[in-house]
């Protein structure tokens, strides 16, 4: 079965998002998606609420780790990861928990611009190819996809949404035997994925700054 997930959503538990869990749930359902990954910055504080309110949605517990020169998504983490570590060490810490490491917006200026050598030396499980917050969206997507191909890693997509308007803007289609979390993550690791979506508009960027700033 194929399911559509936004694998990178932020909530009010992040320092720079206004998305409540209720809003995320509503917007994901309105988009016709099967679920999402709650990936707040360096905190897993929102995961209990997200799982409590998921209903029939697939909620992938996640965490966006601020590494040195990059951000890494941990899928199904048990605890937070120290910030400011190198990419390889960050991935190692993620794997020690049995979690899955996805390199987020590799060329997401100004947040990150990864070194190909750093990524080769890290045991990354997948690369976020589609991220709605990247600019220019199409060009950066092509760079991300090239990196995923060079590393021979699966591609994922997520909105990186911080405001309700952009939830679901980018997504991952996962071909999975079931909607059980273990099957979904295993399918991502095996590369049974398609990443797609579109970028956010200048107006939405401005709106985000107004609402969060």
Band (pLDDT 50/70/90 cuts) for residue 127 is very high
3-class SS of residue 10: coil
- Cis omega before residue 153 (within 30°)? no
In this prediction the pTM is 0.94
Task: Determine the pLDDT at residue 48.
Answer: 98
If we measure between CA atoms, which residue out of 172, 174, 129, 179 comes closest to residue 149? 129
Beta strands (DSSP E) in the chain are 2-9, 35-38, 58-67, 70-75, 100-104, 126-131, 155-158, 170-175, 193-197
Please give the average per-residue pLDDT across 184-191, as a whole number. Answer: 98
Measure the CA angle with vertex 93, ends 25 and 99; round to 5°: 40
Sign of the CA dihedral running 21, 57, 160, 38:
positive
Q: Is the pLDDT of residue 200 over 90?
A: no
Q: Is the pLDDT of residue 117 over 80?
A: no
Query: CB of 121 within 8 A of CB of 105?
Result: no
Domains and CATH numbers, the chain: 2-212 (3.20.20.140)
What is the radius of gyration, based on Cα positions, of the chain? 15
Cα separation, 66 vs 43, whole angstroms: 11
Task: Determine the pLDDT at residue 175.
Answer: 98
Pick left, alpha or beta for residue 139 (phi over 0 → left; psi -120 to 50 → alpha; otherwise beta).
alpha
Query: CB of 164 within 8 A of CB of 185?
Result: no
Burial group, residue 163, by CB count within 10 angstroms (0-12, 13-18, 19+): buried
Low-confidence winner among 18-27, 113-122, 132-141 (lowest mean pLDDT): 113-122
pLDDT tens-place string over residues 9-61? 999 999 899 999 999 999 999 999 999 999 999 999 999 999 999 999 999 99
Task: Determine the pLDDT at residue 208.
Answer: 63
């Amino acid at each position: 079965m194929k399911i559509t997930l936004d694998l990178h959503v932020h909530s009010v538990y992040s320092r720079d998002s206004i998305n409540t869990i209720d809003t995320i749930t509503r917007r994901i359902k309105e988009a016709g998606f099967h679920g999402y990954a709650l990936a707040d910055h360096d905190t897993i504080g929102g995961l209990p609420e997200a799982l409590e309110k998921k209903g029939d949605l697939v909620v992938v517990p996640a965490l966006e780790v601020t590494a040195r020169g990059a951000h890494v998504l941990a899928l199904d983490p048990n605890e937070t990861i120290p910030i400011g570590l190198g990419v390889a060490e960050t991935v190692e810490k993620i794997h020690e928990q049995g979690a899955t490491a996805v390199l987020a917006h590799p060329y997401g200026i100004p947040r990150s611009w990864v070194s190909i050598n750093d990524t080769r030396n890290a045991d990354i499980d997948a690369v976020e190819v589609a991220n709605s917050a990247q600019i220019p969206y199409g060009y950066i997507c092509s760079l991300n996809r090239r990196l995923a191909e060079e590393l021979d890693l699966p591609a994922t997509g997520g909105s990186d949404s911080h405001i309700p308007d952009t939830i679901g803007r980018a997504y991952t289609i996962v071909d999975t035997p079931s909607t059980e979390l273990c099957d979904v993550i295993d399918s991502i690791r095996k590369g049974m994925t398609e990443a797609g979506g579109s970028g956010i508009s200048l107006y939405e960027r401005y709106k985000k700054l107004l609402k969060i700033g």
